[in-house]
Structure 1
């Protein structure tokens, strides 16, 4: 059974399962990014007619919620509007192209270095390569690009 079948009760900070059982706050996961809720008594889950479909975990059903779940839900609702679909189509056409080129044509499927600074440096080099290739294409070739640079010097 999927999470959307469960109802989140913001006032009591808990979830309610489709059978009317309460899932209470269990704790945070991955720092403060995710919050877990669980049926307090696993026997309740095991006796439920949905057991096996909802969960087969011996400790009972567990729901994990993002700490910013309301923001995620708001953005998902907003995405469904026709105006948002138009914006997303433009984004796909404009933004996804460079990343697709970097991944496929430049062969950059993963970072070679570790850490935020290294990854930023690596993606900056890849973006610079993309921009140079794009300039060459827009100007009509390497000779035209060099000619353009030469014109800037004089």
Structure 2
């Protein structure tokens, strides 16, 4: 029996600690992250940025479709839009059209 029970709780049965069923998995993930902080920092910069951009920039906070196949199609279109937007920002409209058609393009913007 704990000698400090009367100082930390008034419940006759004592305090109860609840843990989610998968808490051990979450604890291991936290431990791996703490051991590899630099790797996770790099992942945040490279991998997670597109998801945040798609969520905020394209307003995609939830899926409009139901079913795995439809959701995969919807997220594929979102990634395509993200990649096209990024390519246009990097290369410019003229260069994108030139590369897609293989011809010289004169676009006035």
TM-score (normalizing by structure 2):
0.72
Query: Which string of whole-angstrom CA distances, capped at 9 and with x for unpartnered residues, describes residues 61-91 of structure 1?
Result: 754322xx5443322212112xx11111111
Look up the match of 1:47. 12
- Choose between structure 1 and 2: higher strand proportion: 1
Distance 1:65 1:72 in 2: 10
Matches for 1:1-154 after TM superposition, within 5 Å: 47-48=12-13, 50=14, 54=15, 63-66=19-22, 69-81=23-35, 84-139=36-91, 141-151=92-102
- Per-residue deviation, 1:149: 2.1
- Choose between structure 1 and 2: higher helix proportion: 2
The count of aligned residue pairs is 96
Query: Which string of whole-angstrom CA distances, capped at 9 and with x for unpartnered residues, describes residues 9-36 of structure 1?
Result: xxxxxxxxx95xxxxxxxxxxxxxxxxx
Q: What's the secondary structure of 2:21's corresponding residue?
A: strand
Distance 2:85 2:48 in 1: 16
User: Aligned pair in 2 of structure 1 residues 65, 144: CA closer, same or farther (>3 Å)?
Assistant: same
Unaligned runs of 5+ in 1: 1-17, 20-45, 56-60
- Per-residue deviation, 1:103: 1.0
Distance 2:56 2:67 in 1: 23
- Per-residue deviation, 1:104: 1.1
- Per-residue deviation, 1:111: 0.5
